[in-house]
Chain A
């Protein structure tokens, strides 16, 4: 993993030298701030459950925009050939892209820490659900980045990559609805694939290893598939 640091720096620079990153962070914080303020003044409740669900929905929409260029752009521009003919391993390339994208999401979440800080100053919130909510958002973001990375590795068209990743994320969000219509064991199988079913306990302060395992499995499967798609050439 000697090259990981070099590749990560390059990916960070690619993300943060583009206006897309700043547009995404600004829109995310604007929408989150609006919802937080209006809910706080209307409901006068010291929890962030609705904020976490809104952040999750925004992640569904935003993450494909972050991940669409990761491999698709390198393939289109031909720089993937430059990278893969240098003495670097596919896993180093994939991990650098994953970690760089997660850095952007982490920055967004860190800036959102303002909301619990405000609650802490003016009230006495239950901190457990707040910690687990942020952990859930980080895991959800990881899973969505991983899915976006796989899709970006399959095409050289960024728009196609974004649309397919968006579709995959939304499908995994709503798949439990279909599960309710199907007989056993399909209902259980489809419900267990639902992102919302695994995210809800985090947002409401319940930590289950199965939910943690679900998101980590998606992350690992996505990374492995991305490495495979780069290695198969």
Chain B
């Protein structure tokens, strides 16, 4: 299957500060991908590059095969974006804002009214339709922001810290909403709270200091297994070697800084692959330093990865 998002060595400098350091990842259609990391780890920068707000200093990102810089307008037509803190025009009513955003997103005049009604219905915004956005509660504002993002029925829905500032009931509603749009839309969601990501995402990318530490599957299909390997050797060669092993579905690489070592997360189907992986690596002349079952607990993985990064 062709990935909907393919980010390749994305790098972003803000003046002298390196905010994003060669981040590569892929997101499959219909998947909910979480970006997890503390504040300043580069999550929002990735979202802003994918939505066309920022240009990468180096590297490329493709959305449905289109380059987000060269085909920016076409990419923006396929994205619905809810920035952090849901910025909206406070002097507009809910109805006016949704109508304005529908027209700006290029919806035909005849379909605008229908699209606005559908989005308001989905987010239960009917009671506040004539109200000024500046008078709405935080929860309603967030719903309006999501409604405008869904107006153009986007391939990709991007949510930056969607549960920030919400009360517990609203957080649960937000989780349900994200899971309900998965499948119809690919969702990219950020959070600095482990529990939030764990509850909504199929896979999670862990970021720290602008670097991607690992991509971790949270909702693997069937009774698959996840193995974590630490291997010495050229990353591309090791990855290709691992992918050739029968039963392996996906291999994710997290290179270690300034060494030829890398950690590989291997997702495989139910056939035991550990012996075959070891044999393939040894046969390929690579140095297998560690192999074990990848932790399923996200918090443990996060602490482990951030600890390794700090040690490096």
A233 at the interface (CB under 8 A from B): yes
- A residues 72-115 in Cβ contact with B at 8 Å: 77-79, 81-89
B168 at the interface (CB under 8 A from A): no
| B141 CB to nearest A CB, Å | 12
Q: Is the CB of B103 within 8 A of A82?
A: no
Q: Is the CB of B89 within 8 A of A86?
A: no
- A85 surroundings in chain B (CB, below 8 A): 51-53, 76, 79, 81, 83
Chain B residue with minimal CB distance to A84? B53
**Given contacts A7-B104, A85-B79, A233 and B87 within 8 Å (CB-CB):** no
- B74 surroundings in chain A (CB, below 8 A): 87
**Given contacts A86-B105, A87-B105, A233-B53, A81 and B100 within 8 Å (CB-CB):** no
Mostly, the B contact residues are loop
- A18 surroundings in chain B (CB, below 8 A): 91
The residue that B87 contacts in the complex, of A13, A79, A86, A88, with Cβ under 8 A, is A79
A84 to B75, CA, bound (A): 12
A2 at the interface (CB under 8 A from B): yes
- B88 surroundings in chain A (CB, below 8 A): 79, 82
B101 at the interface (CB under 8 A from A): yes
In this complex, which of A7, A10, A86 has the most chain B Cβ atoms within 10 angstroms of its Cβ? A86
A13 to B93, CA, bound (A): 12
- B residues 81-111 in Cβ contact with A at 8 Å: 81, 83, 85, 87-92, 100-101, 103-106
Chain A residue with minimal CB distance to B99? A6
Q: Mark A131-155, 1 if CB is under 8 A from B, else 0.
A: 0000000000000000000000000
* Residues of B within 8 A of A (CB-CB), count: 27
A3 at the interface (CB under 8 A from B): yes
Q: Is the CB of B85 within 8 A of A6?
A: no
Chain B residue with minimal CB distance to A82? B87
Q: Is the CB of A3 within 8 A of B103?
A: yes
The residue that A233 contacts in the complex, of B54, B85, B103, B148, with Cβ under 8 A, is B54
Q: Is the CB of A14 within 8 A of B91?
A: yes
A85 to B54, CA, bound (A): 9
B219 at the interface (CB under 8 A from A): no
The residue that B76 contacts in the complex, of A7, A77, A87, A233, with Cβ under 8 A, is A87
Q: Is the CB of B52 within 8 A of A84?
A: yes
Chain B residue with minimal CB distance to A83? B104
- B92 surroundings in chain A (CB, below 8 A): 13
Q: Mark A1-35, 1 if CB is under 8 A from B, else 0.
A: 01100110010011001100000000000000000
In this complex, which of B73, B89, B90 has the most chain A Cβ atoms within 10 angstroms of its Cβ? B89
Q: Is the CB of A2 within 8 A of B106?
A: yes
- A17 surroundings in chain B (CB, below 8 A): 91
- A89 surroundings in chain B (CB, below 8 A): 73
Q: Is the CB of A81 within 8 A of B87?
A: yes
B211 at the interface (CB under 8 A from A): no
- B81 surroundings in chain A (CB, below 8 A): 81-82, 85
Chain A residue with minimal CB distance to B54? A233
Q: Is the CB of B100 within 8 A of A78?
A: no
B143 at the interface (CB under 8 A from A): no
A2 to B91, CA, bound (A): 24
Chain A residue with minimal CB distance to B89? A79
| B81 CB to nearest A CB, Å | 5
Chain A residue with minimal CB distance to B47? A85
A79 to B87, CA, bound (A): 5
- A81 surroundings in chain B (CB, below 8 A): 48, 53, 81, 83, 87
Q: Is the CB of B100 within 8 A of A6?
A: yes
A146 to B3, CA, bound (A): 44
B55 at the interface (CB under 8 A from A): yes
Q: Is the CB of A87 within 8 A of B106?
A: yes
A231 to B90, CA, bound (A): 25
- A78 surroundings in chain B (CB, below 8 A): 83, 85, 87
| Inter-chain pairs besides A81-B87, A82-B101, 6 sampled, C-beta below 8 Å | A13-B92, A14-B89, A79-B87, A81-B53, A82-B87, A233-B54
A residues sitting closer than 8 Å to B (CB atoms) are 2-3, 6-7, 10, 13-14, 17-18, 77-79, 81-89, 233
Pairs A-B, 6 closest by C-beta atoms: A78-B87, A85-B51, A6-B103, A87-B76, A87-B77, A86-B104
